A and B are shown apart, each in its own frame.
Chain A
Amino acid sequence: MTRDEAIIKKHTEDVYKYGFTTDIDQERAEVGLNEDTIRYISAKKNEPKWLLDWRLKAFDVWKKMESPDWAHLNISAIDYQSISYYASSKKKQYNSIDEVDPEILKTYEKLGIPLEEQKMLAGVAVDYVMDSDSVFTTFKEKLSEAGVIFCSISEAVQEHPELVKKYLGTVVPQRDNYFAALNSAVFSDGSFVYIPKGVRCPMELSTYFRINERNTGQFERTLIIADAGSHVSYLEGCTAPMRDENQLHAAVVELVALEDAEIKYSTVQNWYPGDENGKGGIYNFVTKRGLCGGARSKISWTQVETGSAITWKYPSVVLRGDDSVGEFYSVALTNNRQQADTGTKMIHMGKNTKSTIVSKGISAGRSENCYRGLVRISPTAENARNFTQCDSLLIGGECGAHTFPYIENKNNSAIIEHEASTSKVSDDQLFACQQRGIDSEKAVGMIVNGFCKEVFRELPMEFAVEAGKLLEVSLEGAVG
């Protein structure tokens, strides 16, 4: 067996360590998708009529659309009629952590999520989402003192309908794409954040999402609004239990930054990637987009993607305000049969707008890892600047790395830079480490972490450590 084969073999023997299910009473919608399903969801959530109409309009649009096939992904057909579009734990609201189903708490414990006390001490408000409903929200009071609204989107629909109505769908319209339309029709829950004018959010906001119920698609919808001169950092972490069948996840995240506002959105995604033969795993079709609506606003996406069987995700920034700034920092690791088609879009419209893209793709096993990015400079975007760096790292000889950068420039004053590299973890590098007493597993971890350093630097401290560990876990037994 050659070294590469050994690497691949060890990789494929990795076992997803978060593979377990939680046994709790759940309420769910009938399997299948039609207008009644949407009415059912909307009624369950006691939604106003305008939102039901909005959902139905999205459903209409979705029916006329086709699943996109331009990505470098091999996806078996999804039967949308075999999915249940709503699941929620029967017990609804909790005043204290003691009321939360102990099974749920046990789940979080197994995931190693630093729960309640630790989290509170660390000063992080956590909005847990178990399947479709928010189960527990902490630190609400402290946030409301600052005027910050941080709640589930269902709650926001009830409590702050004017804000939801004003911004929902303004960054990602219903007809934006197939999966966004689907999400708009059936979205279950997600987070809502509003930071008032001039307020610096007193803590990092964090949400853990988890798909739990068998056969339940999760359609998360998140809306974050940073009013003029405000600042917020939002952390999202995901992991899901082991499943045999594929699970669909089609989320939409919309960010709105008004004048001088700044939003930093960080994701660590570690959903079940499927087994070594590509059986099971999460289908992750995500539309994430931010609008730098006001002058001098800034939106920064940082993502560490290690999970899911299929990742289709392009967190983007529309730079409408003059002097606004968009950033995208990404690490995408694929292993075994995983497929990722991910990247970003930077749409420059305002004057002196700037964007930075740093993408690090790591492929191992027989996975396919693809960067797809668009930099568009509109005629109105005087003196726009973009810098893009795309690096790929290959481990073993059966994986693939692809880069599809699109540049559309309609303004002569623009400066656009693109750098790309592809490298391989070489046997010589591994041997050099081993010869200094470092075993090959640790060596691969060190090399991969070094490769991702520029992105990890952008993560909040707490996540940076987690992300480093996550890569090492994902590469456990990578080489023999």
Chain B
Amino acid sequence: MSLLQVTNLHATVGAQDEQKAILKGLNLTVNPGEVHAIMGPNGSGKSTLANVLSGRPGYTVTEGSMHLADADLAELEPHERAQIGLFLAFQYPVEIPGVSNMEFLKASVDSLARARGEDQTNTATFIKHIRQLATSVDLDPQFLKRGVNEGFSGGEKKRNEIMQLLLLEPKLAILDETDSGLDIDALQVVAEGVNRYKSENNGVVLITHYQRLLDYIVPDFVHVLADGKIIQSGDKSLALELEDKGYAWLT
């Protein structure tokens, strides 16, 4: 069975009386072990795809379907989607003052365990594990005591997202422009984290503007999204071609 199956997906954004169609019949299949890169010009619907899959309020699916393994995502609340293994690395990670990173992540791990009927991780084990993960993405473990993303630099926020990816080990990871605003060192740390996470059992959807990230995370497929649809798919060479020629020749 495919990991992610998106079929003829149409979605709008905005309040009821002023809905704007963004996705207009998108098809995407991600099998376990695959990395898919989604590229495309500004406003083509890349982030909308991430938001619709993860269930962010404000978006409405008007047609088509989306499944994670055998679960119909449209029928699940955002937290339930997370609980069955859908992870979104945010383009703009939000700050939650007063709630420490540690507390937040423990609540997350516990919620996922509860939903899956697993035992809760003991706190000492958890702390040890999360400290190691923080160090592995070049974050000072002191960050864990601070409020979620509170006062973090752009790069720190993105590395925090990758640390969470490694902690939660989801079935499907969607990275929404995780590379944007990163310097080359941070980019390498992020890419290394994603490569560490990757396995034959899970899948990655990389949303990116730039070919640069794909030098470090090699995609199995590259898709070009334009005007709410995938208009071209290929292998890694497509990304290089896009870098060379831009999107104009496709649209």
Contacts and interface: CB of A to CB of B under 8 A. Distances in A.
Interface string B70-98: 00000001110111000110100110111
Contacts of A34: none
B83 A428 contact: no
Contact of A437 (B56, B57, B83, B97): B83
A437 B113 CA distance: 10
A437 B82 contact: yes
B112 interface: yes
A114 to B, nearest CB: 25
Nearest to B109: A437
Interface in A411-431: 423, 426-429, 431
Given A427-B57, A442-B107, A450-B96, A436 B90 contact: no
Contact of A447 (B55, B99, B115): B99
B93 A451 contact: no
A403 interface: no
B57 A431 contact: yes
Contacts of B55: 434
A76 B57 CA distance: 40
B57 A439 contact: no
Given A429-B96, A447-B98, A453-B98, A434 B107 contact: no
A300 interface: no
B82 A435 contact: yes
Nearest to B88: A435
B233 interface: no
Contact of B77 (A439, A449, A453): A439
A432 B57 contact: no
Contact of B107 (A2, A427, A446): A446
A442 B147 contact: no
A437 B112 contact: yes
B184 to A, nearest CB: 27
B108 interface: yes
Given A431-B57, A446-B104, A440 B96 contact: no
A449 B100 CA distance: 11
Contacts, number: 83
A115 interface: no
B104 to A, nearest CB: 7
Given A3-B57, A450-B147, A435 B78 contact: yes
Contacts of A446: 99, 103-104, 107
Query: How large, as a class, is the contact surface on chain B?
Result: 20 to 34
Contacts of B103: 446, 450
B164 interface: yes
A71 interface: no
A427 B57 CA distance: 8
B98 A450 contact: yes
B157 to A, nearest CB: 11
Contacts of B100: 450
Contacts of A429: 94, 96
B94 A426 contact: yes
B111 interface: yes
Contact of B79 (A2, A423, A438, A451): A438
B113 to A, nearest CB: 9
B96 A442 contact: no
Most interface-central of B15, B83, B107, B108 (chain A CB within 10 A): B107
B96 A447 contact: yes
Contact of B104 (A426, A431, A436, A453): A436
Nearest to B115: A437
A451 to B, nearest CB: 5
A429 B93 CA distance: 9
A197 to B, nearest CB: 42
B21 interface: no
A436 B108 contact: yes
16 contacts: A3-B57, A427-B57, A431-B78, A432-B96, A434-B78, A435-B88, A435-B90, A436-B111, A437-B83, A438-B79, A438-B107, A446-B103, A446-B104, A450-B97, A450-B103, A451-B98
**What 9 A-B pairs are tightest by C-beta distance, nearest first?**
A450-B98, A436-B108, A434-B78, A450-B99, A437-B82, A437-B111, A434-B79, A437-B112, A428-B94
Given A432-B90, A433-B104, A436-B105, 11 more contacts: A429-B96, A432-B93, A434-B77, A436-B108, A437-B79, A437-B83, A437-B108, A439-B79, A450-B97, A450-B147, A452-B98
Interface of A: 2-3, 423, 426-429, 431-440, 442, 446-447, 449-453
